[in-house]
Amino acid sequence: MSDGTRFFSNPRIGTPFLGDFDAVIVGAGMAGASLAYELAPELRVLLLETESQPGYHTTGRSAALFSEVYGNSAVRALSRSSRSFLSTPAEGFSKSSLLMPRGTLFFAGLDGLEQLHAVHAEVAPRASKLRWIEGNSLLGRLPALRPEAAQAGIFEPDACDIDVHALHQGYLAGARRRGATVICNAQVDATQHSQAKWALNTRAGHCTTKLLVNAAGAWADDFALRCGVQPIGLTPMRRTAIVFEDQQNWDIQNWPLAVEIGEQFYFKPDAGRILASPADETPSPPCDAQPDEFDVAVVLDRLERMTLLRPKHITGRWAGLRTFASDRTPVAGFDAEVSDFFWLAGQGGYGIQTAPALAIFSASLIKGKPMPETLLAQGINAHALSVQRFLQTATPEN
């Protein structure tokens, strides 16, 4: 970082001094809010949000699923480690339950049976309640599936819907109670780094901090670059969803969330209607994502080919960005070259259900404490989440 200076030499004239902090977290979505909650009892924490309200982008547009089957092995370990917090949060954290029973059914036609068997073999040892179902048992559980599209399935009875709003607000309110400062409309316009200290100029004021945490979601690589830190190759991807009323009078209340094993498509009940998505992953620049008409057409086509559902009226449509690292595993750790810059990014579509464990893990690193045994017991590997995993080791020449 040469002289360490980026963008400004002096704070904007007239802006207030927000304070000197141990950690400034940029991004008040689920990742930033949960980390602020975990750090605040011991550190002076400032949580900055560009928008007028936290969680406007990805956090507020989640399908809100908790599943221990979803994602790769690192994601599943984080999810397993998060269940106890989501099931039994601290007293006063939330006025309502964070998890509601839903169940998840991963289904496959003939061409997906090999993949379905492989997934079942991989996840079954750590998921004792997981059940292989087929034929009438499968269709009896979800009669809207076409038999040819659902030859067999993996049923996860203890998968749940997550009350994303309650979880996010619980973290924000809890962080404030624990002493953190939360400021919205505080886009970071400029940073300066020198002598193991960061200075930030934001639209709400200026501040200094010992540690800068990058929880900027789809903007994480861009923010790093503006801080003089090397990006790590994160890719925001757009995902589209629709909500509709169906022509038939299905009794949908107890239907599970249904996911095609190749993740071409999923649907679930949603407040008396049905939410469906083509599970699209379209690379996108960081932005306020909007639904694309082509993706809406794709989900309608897959509804027709895989189910007996026939939308009568689309009551809502939206899109959100899910940001992935190249290996589709979240990134949580200190930068490889800038030791007082911490990454908390790349959660992909798993950021809500893994937030408790990722926050506890990240807070342990930041405070220099051992990783809790509860996380180690689930197989969480610090290197698998680190920035260092992206570094290529040069092979000596013969």
pLDDT digits (tens, 9 = 90+) for 276-317: 999 999 999 999 999 999 999 999 999 999 999 999 999 999
H helical segments located in 109-215: 113-123, 135-141, 164-177
Non-local (6+) Cβ contacts of 137 within 8 A are none
Residue (of 33, 173, 162, 34) closest to 87 by Cα position: 162
CB neighbour list of residue 173: distance below 8 Å, 6 or more residues apart: none
Q: Is 100's pLDDT higher than 60? A: yes
161 vs 65: CA distance, rounded Å:
5
Q: What is the pLDDT of residues 10-55, one digit of tens each?
A: 445 557 999 999 999 999 999 999 999 999 999 999 999 999 888 7
Mean pLDDT of the chain: 91
Q: Tokens for 388?
A: 């260092």
**Between residues 127 and 341, which one has the greater pLDDT?**
341
Rounded CA-CA distance 328/345 in Å is 11
Helix-strand-coil split of the chain, %, nearest 5: 30, 30, 40
Task: Establish whether domains 5-60+165-233+327-390 and 104-157+235-324 are of one fold.
Answer: no
Domain 5-60+165-233+327-390: homologous superfamily in CATH: FAD/NAD(P)-binding domain (3.50.50.60)
pLDDT digits (tens, 9 = 90+) for 224-241: 999 999 999 999 999 999
Q: Are 68 and 97 in contact, with CB atoms under 8 Å apart?
A: no
pLDDT of residue 55: 72
Residue 299: per-residue pLDDT: 96
Q: What is the 3-state secondary structure (H, E, C) of 5-68?
A: EEECCCCCCCCCEEEEEEEEEECCCHHHHHHHHHHCCCCCEEEECCCCCCCCCCHHHCCCEECC
pLDDT category, 4, cuts 50, 70, 90?
very low
Place of tokens 């007996």: 308
Domain residue limits, the chain: 5-60+165-233+327-390, 104-157+235-324
Question: Each residue of 205-225: pLDDT tens digit?
Answer: 999 999 999 999 999 999 999
Round to whole Å and give the CA distance between 220 and 231. Answer: 8
CATH for the stretch 104-157+235-324: 3.30.9.10
| pTM for the full predicted model | 0.92
